[in-house]
Structures are given as C-alpha cells and as structure tokens.
C-alpha cells in the first residue's frame, strides 16, 4: 500500500474532513454541502469507508461524487473488503466496465495521506492491513498511547470509530475527550492529538484550520 505525502500543516489553510460514509450517498452529499457552505477549503479528505461491504448498489455514484468535488481519499476496511471481493470475482451485481472502474479506484487509494506533522488515515496510522480494522478508540487511552509512542505525528485525523472523540498528549499524559457538536477545539502546538471525525453516515464531518490550529466538529441532520 502506498503513502502519499503532502504539505498541509506547514502552510495556513483549511482541510475539510469526512469519513465512514458506508455507501450512504444522501448523507455524504449533505455533509459535503455543509463543508462547502462554511469557509473555503484547500481540500476535502475522505478518511475511509466510502463504501460498505454489504451495500453494492451505489458504488459508481459514490466515486462520481468523490471525483466531481475533487475529494482526496484513503482506504478503509470496507473499501478493502470490496476491493478483495472484486479481485476474487465475487458475484456482485455490477456491470463489467463499472466493476473495472471501481476496482481501479480502490486500488489507487492510499492507506494514509501524510505531511511532516499530520497524518490522515482511516484508523491506526500504520501500513498493515490490520491497521484498517482496529479502532483507535476502544474506550481507553491505551491504543492512543501506543500510537503516540510509535509515530512522529503532531496530529492524526482518522475515522473507523463512528463517535467523534479527541485524544490529547500533554507532557506525556494522555486524555480522551468528547468533542461537542459544533465545538471548535484549539490545537496547542506543544501538544499532540488524535481526532476521530465520526461517520458522515451519522451526519458527522469537520474542519481543520492549519493556520489557526483549530478543529471544528460539524453536524448535519440525516433522515433515516
């Protein structure tokens, strides 16, 4: 799996974040509309699980939205599952040309997007397939401590766990903190963070301001 490196934290700008759409086309579109309706962004990044392993009827439509809005994306565990199903000839109800295009798209997704200080990933910020499946947030700070110990990143933005939460490293002490709806969190340059964005399938998205060093949780009403 490849790692794509970009410069984000080193220059002021805004990065809009979305994750875990799980083939919910309407919910993802609602979150994109909310993100476009706020401050202008340098880019939008989707943090994995664009697709869902059990829903195969809107795969091309999801890719079309990613392409139309020029959204960068990383691979999630459900995306990896779909990729394997297509590679192994699974009898999914997808036309031949569409199947080829979907597989090409999935194969192109990196495990993470990294600059010198920030990592955008689906779950654990490592290169193994296992890292796609194991959540950062298991209700404790244990896994966050492991990540802080093993990586150099100042900030990690991820998905997989569907509830927004922030892990803060401060002078060797790690805390697990809730992020309230529409709350803006100041990211102290002397601290390190892991931000779980939450699922767009639940109406969650967010905005990282690399100039102001802030993260804002954004919430969109989603009809069921």
With cut-offs at 50, 70 and 90, classify the pLDDT of residue 178: very high
pTM: 0.93
User: Which domains does the chain carry?
Assistant: 8-219 (3.60.21.10)
Determine the Cα–Cα distance for residues 195 and 188; give it in Å rounded to an integer. Answer: 14
Residue 6 predicted with pLDDT over 80: no
Query: What was the pLDDT predicted at 88?
Result: 87
The residues with which 18 forms a beta bridge, in sequence order, are: 46
Q: Span 162-172, mean pLDDT?
A: 96
Query: What was the pLDDT predicted at 47?
Result: 98
Short-list 220, 154, 214, 153, CA closest to 184: 214
Q: What percent of the chain has pLDDT over 70?
A: 90
Q: Look at strands 155-158 and 204-209 and give their pairing.
A: unpaired
Query: What was the pLDDT predicted at 29?
Result: 93
Give strand ranges (E) for the chain: 3-5, 14-18, 43-46, 72-73, 112-114, 118-121, 155-158, 165-170, 173-178, 184-186, 192-196, 204-209, 214-219
Residue 60 CB coordination number (10 Å):
15
- For 49-80, write each residue's pLDDT tens digit: 999 988 887 899 999 999 999 999 999 999 99
- For 40-56, write each residue's pLDDT tens digit: 667 899 999 999 988 88
């Amino acid at each position: 799996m490849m790692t794509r490196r970009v410069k984000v934290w080193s220059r002021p700008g805004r990065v809009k974040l979305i994750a875990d759409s799980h083939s919910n086309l309407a919910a993802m579109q609602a979150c994109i509309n909310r993100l476009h309706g706020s401050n202008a962004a340098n880019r939008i990044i989707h943090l994995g699980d664009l697709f869902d392993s059990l829903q195969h009827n809107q795969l091309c439509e999801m890719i079309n939205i990613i392409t139309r809005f020029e959204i960068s994306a990383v691979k999630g565990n459900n995306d990896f599952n779909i990729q394997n199903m297509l590679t192994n000839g699974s009898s999914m109800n997808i036309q031949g040309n569409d199947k080829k295009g979907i597989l090409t798209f999935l194969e192109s997704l990196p495990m993470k997007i990294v600059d010198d200080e920030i990592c955008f990933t689906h779950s654990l910020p490592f290169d193994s397939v296992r890292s796609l499946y194991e959540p950062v947030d298991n209700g404790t700070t244990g896994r966050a401590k492991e990540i802080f110990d093993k990586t150099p990143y100042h900030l990690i933005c991820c998905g997989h766990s569907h509830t927004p939460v922030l892990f803060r490293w401060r002078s060797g002490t790690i805390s697990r903190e809730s992020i309230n709806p529409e709350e803006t969190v100041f990211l102290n340059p002397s601290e390190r963070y892991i931000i779980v964005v939450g699922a767009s399938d639940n109406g969650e998205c967010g905005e990282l301001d690399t100039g102001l060093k802030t993260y804002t949780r954004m919430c969109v009403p989603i009809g069921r």
